[in-house]
Structure 1
Amino acid sequence: MIPLELNIEKIEQIGDLKGNENLRFRTFLKGQDSTKVDGIVHRLNEEIESRIDCTKCGNCCKTLRPCVTNNEIETLTKIDKVSREFYIENFIERDDLENIKYLKNTPCKYLSDKKCSIYEYRPIDCKSYPHINKKHFNSRTLSMLVNYRICPIVFNVMENLKMEFDFR
């Protein structure tokens, strides 16, 4: 069984110390077969994710701002019992260049004691986080390096992936 690091403070410290190593690993992964990398990453993710309870962490909700769709905004306005205009003005930030809407503030306004207070209705971006199970992992390594310091799942998958490739 893979040993896991779950302490967020320690993960952040290791992330600071291994910044250059992780950039070198990112470059290394770009040269690897995408299908092979995906197979290893998905296997590691399955084992690691099954042993980590995200509702006992909530660090992503403290530090990241999820994308939201128009339909999700509609749902959130109903939950908050406010008008769409009020919600957008107060809780949404737009990236017009990429045509993306984000929840504006961190920590997330729906975070309550490390848990999502609207868990059943949370945005798809939250449901799919940390996005490890998607294809083409080695083309998404930059976002994984950002998440490395935030999410114990990403941290442990990346560290074990280094071992799988005997990366030094």
Structure 2
Amino acid sequence: MDLEFYKNQATLKQKEHRKTLEALKKKPPKNLDYLAQEVHDEVFRKVDCLQCANCCKTTGPLFTDKDTDRIAKHLRMKTADFESRYLRTDEDGDKVLQNLPCWFLNDDNTCSIYEVRPKACREFPHTDRKKIYQINHLTIQNTLICPAAYEFVEKIRLRTGVK
């Protein structure tokens, strides 16, 4: 997967993508949730996250209290020990990874804690959520990181005819 190509394309099309998503926010088609799910499924039949893992290499998820408790238990650690070993509190007061790439990313791009991974990881790139237009800023940001998010916005743009 040519990550540089996708990042360049996403950068070039930021304005166009933003315009498309804003238009969908102003006047969402009645079937937008259905269409978004259909496009999400189509994109992920073609994009193999294990060939990329750019999200795990370049961005860290937010860790909720439920996430830290669940992962610490899985690792047979106390939550406080897990947090002090792997996490830090960012400028917004959120718990995030101390370092990137993610501690739990294996050499083959699999996740060593996949079954108990954070909610943010399970939901990334958030292209299958209802009322996708509510997270336009995040979707635009994710097109720079995730080839699937880029493909998603491109296909939504074409399918809705919104320019």
Amino acid at match of 1:106: L
Deviations 1:110-156 (A, max 9, x none): 11122212212211221121111111111111100011111122111
Counterpart residue identity of residue 112, structure 1: N
Shift of 1:109: 0.7
C-alpha distance 138-71 of structure 1, shift in aligned 2 (>3 A): closer
Residues 34 and 137 of structure 1 are in contact (CA less than 8 Å); yes or no, is this contact kept in structure 2? no
CA RMSD of aligned residues (A): 2.3
Residue 165 (1) aligns with residue 154 (2): no
Corresponding position: 1:13 with 2:3: no
More displaced 10-residue stretch of structure 1: 145-154 or 112-121: 112-121
Contact 2:18–2:136 (Cα < 8 Å) also in 1: no
Q: What SS does structure 2 have at the residue aligned with 1:102?
A: strand
Q: Distance in 2 between matches of 1:131 and 1:91?
A: 24
Q: CA deviation at 1:78?
A: 4.6
1:3 — aligned with what? none
The 5 Å alignment of 1:62-141 reads: 62-78=57-73, 80=75, 82-94=77-89, 100-113=94-107, 114-141=109-136
Residue 34 (structure 1) shift: 5.6
Q: Distance in 2 between matches of 1:45 and 1:140?
A: 15
Aligned partners of 1:56 and 1:115 also within 8 Å: no
What is the Cα deviation at residue 45 of structure 1?
Answer: 0.8
| CA distance in structure 2 between the partners assigned to 1:167 and 1:103 by the alignment | 37
TM-score, structure 2 as length reference: 0.84
| Alignment coverage as a number of residue pairs | 162
Higher strand share: 1
Cα separation, 1, equivalents of 2:76 and 2:37: 40
The unaligned stretches of length 5 or more in structure 2 are none
Deviations 1:79-107 (A, max 9, x none): 5555433332342233585x642233221
- TM-score normalized by structure 1? 0.82
Q: Which runs of 5+ in 1 are unaligned?
A: 1-5
Q: What is the aligned partner in structure 2 of residue 51 from structure 1?
A: 46
